[in-house]
Amino acid sequence: MDADKLIGRDFAGVTLLSVHGRGHSGVVFVGFQKSLKRKVAVKLVSKANLSARSFMDEAEVVAVLNHPNIVTVFDVGQDDEYLFITMQLIDGTSLQSAIELSAKNPIPSKRRLPVTKVLRVMASVLGALEYAHRQGVVHQDVKPGNILIESQSYRPFLVDFGIARTELTEDESKYVHGTPIYMAPEQAKGGVTDGRADIYATGVTMWEALSGNLPAPVLPAVKLVAMKARNPEDFFRSAPSADNPHIDAELEYIIQKAIAADRDSRYEDCGLFRDALARYAERKFHERF
């Protein structure tokens, strides 16, 4: 997709103004909705890259979600070339960008995000996921790039519910949902997923936010998926505390429980995961959320 050439085009009454971000499944633009005179985010996906029926069905399901930590979907549609979703525009940055920016800080002690901020963000994310799961929606692609942080309030928003897909072509004949490093082993195997897959991905995301990186192998996506499916216990080369001395034994246990290879060994639901973080934050930092 040549995104720059799409600037100025109109999609269902929304004019594309600029490129806001790029992902493996599409491009997000800042658009102007003429009817309500407001800026919105517009995600475009080429029909050559994704099934129109799948995209439309899933987008319509996500559009009914109403939660303060989930980006609101305003409209969904298509033309001859593209599928599009019009949604709430967040003035902020992704958690991924925040992690990368911290890593570049000239002061070594500030090259990781503060633990308390990470815990607050992840607690909000888990609250959003708990709500979505009650509505029968599993995100399937929780990762730092899909968590947006509002600049003024530091309020986190989840985006891309159920939209992302990774199609494998080597030794695979099925679609696998998600991003390899964050996906749960049952996703990598192409099995049926439930809310515990989101718990796994949230655990990996929290680990990365706390440590600044993940000790995962650098391999093509197909090989990462195969490794996650066949030998999930050894996918990560070290424990969370190896990269951040501020991750104590209790916090490491919380992370390891969330990312257990066997989903029956993880937290049963996002509420229990969130409660564990809340109890830890209150004991360790005397903070409540």
CATH number given to 3-87: 3.30.200.20
As given in the structure block, the two tokens for residue 155 are: 């309020």
Determine contact, residues 171/102, Cβ cutoff 8 Å.
no
Prediction pTM value = 0.91
Per-residue pLDDT at 53 exceeds 80: no
pLDDT of residue 167: 46
- Give pLDDT tens digits for 121-169: 999 999 999 999 999 999 999 999 999 999 999 999 999 886 654 444 4
4 part of the active site: no
Q: Where are the domains of the chain?
A: 3-87, 92-285
Is there a common fold for 3-87 and 92-285? Answer: no
Distance CA 229, CA 233 (A): 10
Catalytic residue among 79, 80, 141, 198: 141
Q: Strand ranges (DSSP E) for the chain?
A: 10-11, 14-23, 26-33, 38-46, 73-78, 82-87, 92-94, 147-150, 156-158, 166-167, 175-176
Domain 92-285 matching CATH 1.10.510.10: the answer reads yes
Average pLDDT for residues 49-67, to the nearest whole number?
Answer: 80
Residue 83, strand partner residues? 45, 78
